[in-house]
Amino acid sequence: MASLVARLSRAFVFRNTATLSRNTGPKSVNATGLTLSRTTVTSTTGRVLPKPVKVPFGLTRMFIVVIPFLYVGNLISKNFAALLEEHEIFVPDDDDDDD
């Protein structure tokens, strides 16, 4: 139990000191060797790192996610407003403008 606590505290200290240093390098690398997240722009020798890999179809993917959830949110709000009106919890006033 004590060795587990010592290992966890040591890992915590090393991880925090790595984030405080100036050039930490890549945070994580997947199986293909691509950097998943990077917080630095220079290597430990001062060399500028290459551009990160760009996600293809970033804007298209955003629309594919945003549009359906906006539509679902719209349906939920319309149904909830109808439920409130049906149970007379909230009934909008009819303003008759007889001008």
What is the model's pLDDT at position 70? 97
Contact 38, 49 (CB under 8 A): yes
What is the model's pLDDT at position 80? 96
Residue 59 pLDDT > 80 = yes
| Cα–Cα distance measured from residue 11 to residue 19, given in angstroms and rounded to the nearest whole number | 12
What is the model's pLDDT at position 18? 47
Place of tokens 């007889």: 98
Please tell me the pTM assigned to this model. Answer: 0.41
| Cα–Cα distance measured from residue 22 to residue 42, given in angstroms and rounded to the nearest whole number | 9
Dihedral, CA atoms, 16, 38, 49, 45, nearest 10 degrees?
0
Q: Please, what is the average pLDDT of the chain?
A: 76
